Homo-oligomer: A and B are copies of this chain.
Amino acid sequence: MATATLHSASLRTGAEVRAAVRAGLLRHPTSGAAPDFVQTNVAILPKDAAFDFLLFCQRNPKPCPIIEVMEPGQAEARLSAPGSDIRTDVPRYRVYRNGTLTDEPLDLKAFWRPDLVTFLLGCSFSFEHALMRNGINLPYYGTSRNVPMFTTNIKTNPAGVFSGPLVVSHRWVPKEKVVRAVQATSRFPAVHGAPIHIGDPKQIGIKDILKPDFGDPWAPSRPDDVPVFWACGVTPQAVAMSSKPELMITHSPGHMFVTDLKDEDLAVI
């Protein structure tokens, strides 16, 4: 049994991160590991729910950007991470039965079934790199704090058993950087894309911008900072969970699956 742990910043590629996880050398959050590589949210559902969930993602591409969907029982992400094994390559998982968290295992060997369909969904890391490259400061980035997230009054497009409100992440953007923030994130529809709202939080049903529903509060650093909102990857997880599927497996928050894709591979232009 390996007991040593690696510092994730020493892992330069997605394949190196996955190998370290699989060897039991990396069990902590993946933020900062293989910084140029695309990390993904993970949602695993039985096939009888997978068609509806795939439809839900297809109808709501901003909160649910699909990087890859595997076939029933397939454990290797053949397109985005050849040689990977979704049952061993995520540092920590969560297992939900009928909507209740029942296990937080380090691998899925005891849980895997031939009817399980794995969804890899875009994660905000790629997208935040684009903001930072464009001079937009994210004070929580690389700390133990998280981006503030809010449940809005915006409905997602329902699909089969799946429906619910859009969850957004919120970032303060200096007023002279708002247009740049729209441009920079529009290049990446595969990781939430352009904002869904700019300005008054009340217009999308947010009562108090300093009291997020998830994540940590973030106060503006200058009085003319503008609140900008993007569709958030918490949405599909919240929506799936509220339908109380018999079994659903996800990554543990912050413990992502790291692919062989680079952020720039996802840019549309």
Q: Among the listed stretches A50-58, A217-225, A250-258, which one makes contact with chain B, having 4 or more residues with CB under 8 Å of it?
A: A50-58
A180 interfacial contact with B, CB 8 Å: no
1/0 per position for A185-213, CB-CB distance to B under 8 A? Answer: 01101000100000000000000000000
A66 CB–B CB distance under 8 Å: yes
**How big is the A interface, by class?**
20 to 34
- Identical subunits present: 2
- Taking A55-B71, A58-B69, A186-B269 as given, write out 6 further A-B residue pairs in contact, using a Cβ cutoff of 8 Å, ordered by the A residue number: A47-B51, A59-B68, A71-B160, A79-B157, A183-B269, A186-B268
Tell yes or no: A159 within 8 A of B by CB.
yes
- B residues less than 8 Å from A160 (CB atoms): 71
State the CA gap A187–B269 with chains docked (Å): 8
In the complex, the 3 A-B pairs of residues with the closest C-beta atoms, listed nearest first? A51-B51, A186-B269, A268-B268
Residues in B with CB closer than 8 Å to A50 are 51
Report chain B residues within 8 Å CB of A47.
Answer: 51
User: For chain A residues 156-193, which have a beta carbon within 8 Å of chain B?
Assistant: 157, 159-160, 183, 186-187, 189, 193
Interface of A toward B, CB cutoff 8 Å:
47, 50-51, 54-55, 58-59, 66, 68-69, 71, 79, 157, 159-160, 183, 186-187, 189, 193, 268-269
Q: Give the distance in Å from the alpha carbon of A59 to the alpha carbon of B47 in the complex.
A: 18
Contact sample, A vs B, 5 pairs, CB 8 Å cutoff:
A51-B54, A71-B160, A186-B268, A189-B268, A193-B268
Instruction: Select A159's contact among B55, B59, B71, beta carbons within 8 Å.
Output: B71
